[in-house]
Structure 1
Amino acid sequence: MQILRAVAFAVAALLAAIGIAHAQDATTLKKEMVGQWELSTTERSKTCVVTMKGDAAAQGFKLELEPACKSALPFTKDIVAWNIKGLDIVRLQDASGESVIDFTEVEAGIFEGLRQGEGVYILQDLAAARSMAKSMDQMIGDWAMVRSNGQPICGLTLTNTEADQDNFQVFLKPKCDAAIAQFNPTQWRLERGQIILMSKSGEVWQFEADDNAQWRRVPDTADPLILLRQ
Structure 2
Amino acid sequence: MLARLAVALGLLLAAGAAQAQDAATLKSSMIGQWELSTTERSKTCVVTLKADAAQAPQGMKLELEPGCATALPFTKDIAAWTVKGLDIVRLETSAGDAVIDFTEVESGIFEGLRANEGVYILQNLAAARSLAKSMDQMIGDWSMVRGSGRVVCGLTLTNNEAPTPDNYEVYLKPRCDSQVASFAPKMWRLERGALLLIAPSGETWRFEADDNAQWRKSPDSADPLIMLRQ
Distance in 2, Cα, partners of 1:200 & 1:8 = 63
Which of the numbers 24, 28, 31 marks the counterpart of 2:21?
24
Give the deviation of 1:219 after TM superposition.
1.3
Find the counterpart in structure 2 of residue 41 from structure 1: 38
- 2:54 alignment partner AA: A
Structure 2 residue 225 is matched with structure 1 residue 225: yes
Separation in 2 of the partners of 1:8 and 1:203?
59
Shift of 1:184: 1.2
String of CA shifts for 1:165-192, please: whole Å, max 9, x gaps. 1211111111111111111111111111
- For the residue of structure 1 that corresponds to 2:119, the secondary structure is strand
2:200 counterpart letter in structure 1: K
3-state SS of 1:211 partner:
coil
Q: How far apart are 1:11 and its partner, in Å? A: 2.4
Which aligned pairs between 1:116-127 and structure 2 lie closer than 5 A? 116-127=115-126
- Structure 2 distance, partners of 1:12, 1:169, is 60
Q: Partners in 2 of 1:18 and 1:217 — Cα distance?
A: 45
Superposed CA offset, 1:104-126 (max 9, x none)? 11101111111111111110000
Identical-pair percentage: 69
Query: In the alignment, is residue 161 of structure 1 matched against residue 160 of structure 2?
Result: yes
Q: How far does residue 162 in structure 1 lie from its aligned partner after superposition?
A: 1.4
TM-score by length of 2: 0.96
Q: 1:129 matched to which residue of 2?
A: 128
Give CA-to-partner distance per residue, 1:74-116, whole Å, 9 cap, x none.
1000000000001100000001101101111110111111111
Q: Name which of 4, 20, 36 aligns with 1:7.
A: 4
How many residue pairs are counted as aligned between the two chains?
227
Structure 1: gaps of 5 or more residues: none
The DSSP-based 3-state class of the residue aligned with 2:133 is: helix
Secondary structure of 2:6's aligned partner: helix
Structure 2 Cα separation of the partners of residues 173 and 194 of structure 1: 22
Q: Structure 1 residue 9: deviation in Å?
A: 2.7
Q: Secondary structure at the match of 2:186?
A: strand
CA distance in structure 2 between the aligned counterparts of 1:87 and 1:118, rounded to whole angstroms: 26
Local SS of the residue matching 2:179: helix
Structure 2 counterparts to residues 165-176 of structure 1, below 5 A:
165-176=165-176
- Once residues 94 and 27 of structure 1 are traced to their aligned partners in structure 2, the CA distance between those partners, rounded to angstroms, is 21
Q: Which runs of 5+ in 2 are unaligned?
A: none
Q: Residues 167-186 of structure 1: matches in 2 within 5 Å? A: 167-186=167-186
Read off the aligned partner of 1:56 and give its amino acid letter: A
Cα distance in 1 for partners of 2:91, 2:30 equals 12
Letter in structure 2 aligned against 1:11: A
Q: Which amino acid aligns with 1:88?
A: D
Cα separation, 2, equivalents of 1:204 and 1:165: 16
Match in the other structure for 1:86: 85
The residue type equivalent to 2:9 in the other structure is A
Structure 2 residue matching 1:185: 3-state secondary structure: coil
TM-score (norm 1): 0.96
Cα deviation, residue 210, structure 1: 0.8
